[in-house]
Amino acid sequence: MNSKEKFIRYADLLREWSQRMNLVAPSTLADIETRHFADSAQLAEILPKDVSVIDFGSGAGFPGVVLAILGWNVTCIESIGKKALFLNELKKSLALDNLIIYHGRVEDFLPAFFIKNKEKAGKFYSGFVITARAFAPLIKILDYVRDINCRLFLLKGREIEKEIDVAKRKYKFDYQLVPSKTGDGFIIIVDYKH
């Protein structure tokens, strides 16, 4: 199955599962390709090729599963059981060997990840990036990563400037805003060092 076929199958599964559970807003099911796939895929144009991705709050797989289809090694973190089941179904149905599903909370995953990868922790900044879409305000995401050096690639709405102002009161970080190609939001790239 090539990537085009995987996206067709992904859309079919999303429509099918959305009849049983709330994976995405029902109004977006008519335009999955733009609203979800293209929106997530725009990260592929700016993500380094040689990094692994940790996707916070993956939900229906955006952007994590999209990035896995496009070739990145991705760990999707999802705390809601039904959504984790859907992600596991995608992994199996799309034959995504480069995708790991972690059913649990971000705050539980990160400490376990760093204990397991203690010798790599110093390389975390260059070896991994964190992504998220419709997950949490910027300050909450920074609360989760406050003890590590990392790079964040976050798909955000048009209110991102307010989120930056709030986060700057508590954290020091460099950032770059890239206008979204699929809506009126932004991609914010955050370089954070604790």
- pLDDT digit string, tens, across residues 106-148: 999 887 776 565 555 444 445 789 999 989 999 999 999 988 8
Give the start-end residues of each E strand in the chain.
Answer: 52-56, 73-78, 99-103, 128-133, 150-156, 174-179, 186-192
Tokens of 183: 């809506």
- Homologous superfamily, domain 3-192: Vaccinia Virus protein VP39 (3.40.50.150)
CB-based burial of residue 38 (10 Å sphere; 0-12 exposed, 13-18 middle, 19+ buried)?
middle
Instruction: List, for residues 17-69, the tens digit of each pLDDT value.
Output: 999 988 888 888 888 888 899 999 999 999 999 899 999 999 999 999 999 99
Tokens of 21: 């559970």
In this prediction the pTM is: 0.91
Contacts of 44 (CB under 8 A, 6+ apart): 66, 67, 70, 72
